Amino acid sequence: MTAIISRPGAATLPGQVTAMLRLRRVLRAMVIGLRPMVGGYWLVMLLAFLGGGMIAQLVSGGTDHSMWDYGTQSPKYFSAAIGITLTPALFALMVAHGVTRRMFAVACSIFLTGAAAATALVWVLAYQVERGIYDVAGLTQALDNPHLFTRTTQVGLIFTEFFLLILAHQAAGWLIGIGFYRFGFWKGLALLPLGLVPAAAAELLLVAQWLADALESTGYDRPPLAVAVPGVLAVSALSLYAGYLLIRPMGLKPAKG
């Protein structure tokens, strides 16, 4: 017993189970738990924009625009839904199985960041595959929405735009979900504007996709990327940390009312 306690950290975890191993297992459980929801979404997206996007372009006069560019809003709002779902769906189950609140909050932050990176990578690949198909077919891959990038060959800017927007919307969703779970419906509803801060900040700093035209019509200009990119990262990081602080003292059961 003395030998076990003398090893740093060994007294807090049984046997050979380390904190990092537990964290990996929690992350794996989150991935498995949300895989049907995420997989179903991407299947619908693929079918919708391979079929519906092509039909819409043919009806409007020809395939002269990127089909994938019509769907840039969908991953943001779906990602926000993932953030909202995460705590109500998994918190009580994981804590009841011995996962600490601190580890759950850290795992959520890592999961949301990884999901944002994965979704941004999917969007990068979708544009590249589409560009190859359009080039072979002699079609134009014009972009219908304003972006940080002007051509789909600008892979770094595509990844940056989608990663930042999706991360911010996921962080917003996570805060909203925590607010309703911890404080109940009415207080959660009152706190809703605070939960939307990271998503609003990302939209105002990046000025990309559907909201860009509305903002530009008011005379508002996007700040330089050297300001906008760190700004979105900072707001998203602070939002994830706020979620961590809210979860640490949270009761196992959701609040009533």
- What does the pLDDT read at residue 218? 78
Give the range with max mean pLDDT: 35-49, 61-75, 122-136, 170-184. Answer: 170-184
Give alpha helix (H) positions in 53-97: 53-60, 74-96
Q: How large is the angle between the packed helices 74-96 and 101-137, nearest 10 degrees? A: 150
Q: Are 128 and 152 in contact (CB under 8 A)?
A: yes
For residues 198 and 242, what is the distance between their CA atoms, to the nearest angstrom? 11
* Mean pLDDT, residues 91-103 taken together: 92
pTM of the model: 0.86
Q: Which of 56, 41, 84, 62 is nearest to 174 (CA)?
A: 84
Q: List, for residues 48-82, the tens digit of each pLDDT value.
A: 777 666 666 666 555 667 878 877 888 888 999 99
**Backbone CA torsion sign across 175, 179, 181, 182:** positive
- What does the pLDDT read at residue 128? 93
DSSP E strand boundaries for the chain: none
Alpha-carbon Rg of the chain, whole angstroms? 21
Q: Look up tokens 């992350």; give the residue.
A: 27
Burial (CB count within 10 angstroms: exposed 0-12, middle 13-18, buried 19+), residue 226: exposed
Q: What percent of the chain has pLDDT over 90?
A: 52
Q: Are 155 and 125 in contact (CB under 8 A)?
A: no
Q: Are 164 and 206 in contact (CB under 8 A)?
A: yes
**Backbone CA torsion sign across 152, 155, 158, 162:** positive
For residues 44 and 18, what is the distance between their CA atoms, to the nearest angstrom? 39
Phi/psi for 142 (5° steps) reads: -70, 145
Q: List, for residues 99-112, the tens digit of each pLDDT value.
A: 999 999 999 999 99
18-to-11, 23, 28, 68, 97 alpha-carbon distances in Å: 11, 9, 15, 43, 16
Q: Which of 141, 144, 149 is nearest to 64 (CA)?
A: 141
- What does the pLDDT read at residue 10? 39
Q: Which of 89-93, 100-104, 198-202, 211-215 shows the lowest mean pLDDT across its residues?
A: 211-215
What are the boundaries of each domain within the chain? 14-247
* Mean pLDDT, residues 218-226 taken together: 85
* Adjacent-strand bridge partners of 65: 142
